[in-house]
Each structure stands twice: as C-alpha cells, then as structure tokens.
Amino acid sequence: MKKLINSPADLVTESIAGLGAAFSDLIKVHFDPNFIIRADAPVRDKTAIISGGGSGHEPMHGGFVGRGMLDAACPGAVFSSPTPDQMLEATKAVDGGKGVLYIVKNYTGDILNFEMAADLARSEGIEVEAVMIDDDVAVKDSLYTAGRRGVGTTVLAEKICGAATEAGTSLSDVAELCRKVNASGRSMGMALTSCTVPHAGKPTFELPEDEMEIGVGIHGEPGRERTKLKTADEITKILLDPVLEDLPFKSGDQTLLFVNGMGGTPLLELFVVYRKAHRILTEKGIGVARSLVGPYMTSLEMAGTSITVLKLDDQLTRFWDAPVLTPAFRWGI
C-alpha cells in the first residue's frame, strides 16, 4: 500500500486538521468528536444543514462546508459512517434556532447512525429532519432490500439546499426541496481499478488489466457486472443509458450534467467522458444547462467515473447558481 499517510489510525484526524489550517477563514474543525462547521456557525435564524459519511470521498463532505452549502460535516473513519455523538455535537454547534436538516446517503450505517443522532438531538429540543439520497440506478430499487445507494446527487442536493437555507427557507421546506432534488437526479458509476482502504492495506477488489466494474459503489462495493474494458465513448453510453431511462429524462428537459471523477482518473479523461455524455444528451433533445466536471465524490484513489444527471427547473437552477464559499465550491462571492 503506497499512501501519503502517517498511520491509518491518524489519517482522518490529521487530514481534517490540514483542511482546517488551509481554510481557517471559512471553516472550523472540531476534534473528538470530529466535525467541521462553517466559521460563522451558528447562523442565527437560518435553517442549518449537516451531512456526513465515511471519509475517503473528499472533497465531500468537509470541502462543502461554508456559506451557501453545508453548516457542518461529520467525517467517519475511511468508508465507515460517522457516529451519533459527532452528529449530535455538530447539530448543537450549528443550530441557529430554525432546526437542522440531515442529508443522509442511503447506506444502512449512515441511516442508522443519523437516526440515532436525530433521536438524541430531538431529545435535547432541537428540531431535526432527515432526507435520504438514493440516486444510484446501478442498484435495483426494491422495497425488500436496503434500496439504492446515495451517490452523485448528494453533491448537488447539498449545494442547492444550502443556497435555499441562505435565502430563508424553513426546515420543512428545505427538506421538501431536498426530496425534490433526490427525485430529480440519477447516477451511475464505474471503476477501472480498485481503491485500497488504509486499514485493510490491500485493494478491495482485483480487476484484471482488461476488465472494468460497471455500477461500482463509492466504497469499492462490487457493481452490476464486470465486463471487458471498452472505449470512453462506449463506457459513457453504458452509464448514461440507464440513468436517462430511469427517471426518465425526456426531450425538452433542462439538466445539470455532472461527470464525477472517482479519484484516480485524470481530468484529461473526465472531459472525454463529458464530451460524449454532452453529445448523447444533446442528440436526445435534452438540454445541458449547467455542468460540473471533476473529482467531487471520490473513492480514495480508485480510477473511474460516475455520471449524474439532474433535471432542472427555475428553482433548482437559481439555487445552483447562488453564491457559495466553501473549500471545494466557490463562486459569486
């Protein structure tokens, strides 16, 4: 295992310490329990938003804390959900009197831990709502399973909902908005190589030199199928077709196209994927009104990409465009 770390046990704490030192104007980092809050928290009379999840997906979520996006992020150990005590302390630190929205990716661990945190926060008199993101079309949507994973739409929901709370949206309304974003976004990912969890010390899976994993999860969970390596254009189509069919997206729709890097894939390649995705959408009469390209929801050093398409309306577009000032997203301010 080749990593720039001191030890697996200290990795997350040292990394968020670095994040805090680099962006001390925007965020504050709290240790033991670990959480990251915007520098001016709590913001009086603003609904707060907290997200969190395992580490290893940076810049998500710590890089999304700041004006116009998250009020707090709770980083767990690498690929492990954070714990209720972190969430509870973060909740107390950011509640500005208007309640707190938890944006939770649909993984059993995240759901259970946020659930416990919500119980604890409510018992301390803080109003809490939780909205689950489950946009990964690689997973069959079934009532009898844990359902779909939360992936790329999470990033977009955090930006859009963050902007809404800056504009004075109430807790119940921002929760409603978050459910709308989740209902409007679909994603699918693939991997060329595995990631290596520091504690495990070796790759989570082995992919032969001529194979790829389609529908992979952001924790290196195996995907839909393993197939022979294909060209970027073919792969883009393999990812995009089920995404478009699922909602379904239709001619005339306006969308945000998000081509995400899994960590180890260079930007040079991501733009090749973006180019093809943009063409496919355009050929179907689906408009690409906004774009996001880059490694925003990563899986350590995994090589691969995921594509998220979000159906836009005026409200979502306005909140997407609204000013934001976080380590990873910065515009209009």
Ligand X SMILES: Nc1ncnc2c1ncn2[C@@H]1O[C@H](COP(=O)(O)OP(=O)(O)O)[C@@H](O)[C@H]1O
- Per partner kind, with CB cut-offs from 5 to 8 A, the member of a copy of itself, another protein, Mg ion, none near residue 146 is another protein
Q: Is 129 or 221 the residue whose CB approaches another protein more closely? A: 221
Site string for ligand X, 107-136 (x = CB under 6 A): -xx---------------------------
Contacts of 329 (CB under 8 A, 6+ apart): 63, 64, 66, 68, 69, 159
Q: Is 79 or 296 the residue whose CB approaches ligand X more closely? A: 79
- Per partner kind, with CB cut-offs from 5 to 8 A, the member of ligand X, a copy of itself, another protein, none near residue 145 is another protein
Strand order across the beta sheet in which 225-228 lies:
225-228, 211-214, 185-191, 304-311, 254-261, 287-294
Contacts of 230 (CB under 8 A, 6+ apart): 212, 238
Burial 124-135 (b: 16+ CB within 10 A, else e): eebbbbbbbbbb
- Among 147, 122, 119, 145, which residue's Cα sits nearest to residue 132? 147
- Per partner kind, with CB cut-offs from 5 to 8 A, the member of another protein, a copy of itself, Mg ion, none near residue 55 is a copy of itself
Could you give the residue ranges of the DSSP H alpha helices within 124-220? 153-166, 171-184
- Per partner kind, with CB cut-offs from 5 to 8 A, the member of ligand X, another protein, Mg ion, none near residue 284 is none
The amino acid sitting at 325 is L
By CB under 8 A, name the binding residues for another protein: 33, 54, 76-86, 107-109, 112-113, 115-116, 136, 138-140, 144-146, 148-149, 197, 199-200, 204-205, 217, 219-222, 224
Q: Is 59 or 185 the residue whose CB approaches a copy of itself more closely? A: 59
- End-to-end CA, the chain: 40
Q: What three-state secondary structure class fits 129?
A: strand
- Per partner kind, with CB cut-offs from 5 to 8 A, the member of a copy of itself, ligand X, another protein, none near residue 268 is a copy of itself
* Least Å from the CB of residue 82 to another protein: 6
Q: Name the β-bridge partners of 49.
A: 101
Options 65-73, 95-103, 136-144, 301-309: segment touching a copy of itself (CB under 8 A): 301-309
Q: Which residue has the tokens 């959480």?
A: 35
Any idea which residues carry the catalytic annotation?
A: 57, 219
CA–CA–CA angle 189, 129, 136 (5° rounding): 10
By the rule CB under 8 A, 271 interacts with a copy of itself: yes
Q: Is 148 or 276 the residue whose CB approaches Mg ion more closely? A: 148
HSE-CB for 29 with a 13 A CA cutoff = 20
Options 30-38, 51-59, 89-97, 128-136: segment touching a copy of itself (CB under 8 A): 51-59
Q: How many chain residues bind ligand X (CB under 6 A)?
A: 4
By the rule CB under 6 A, 203 interacts with ligand X: no
* Least Å from the CB of residue 199 to another protein: 4
By the rule CB under 8 A, 240 interacts with a copy of itself: no
- Among 317, 305, 216, which residue's Cα sits nearest to residue 265? 305
By the rule CB under 8 A, 19 interacts with a copy of itself: yes
Rounded Cα distance, 172 and 132, in Å: 14
Binding residue for Mg ion (CB under 5 A) from 51, 80, 204, 260?
Answer: 80
Burial 279-308 (b: 16+ CB within 10 A, else e): ebbeeeebebebebbbbbbbbbbbbbbbbb
Residue numbers at the binding site for Mg ion (CB under 5 A): 79-80
Residue numbers at the binding site for ligand X (CB under 6 A): 80-81, 108-109
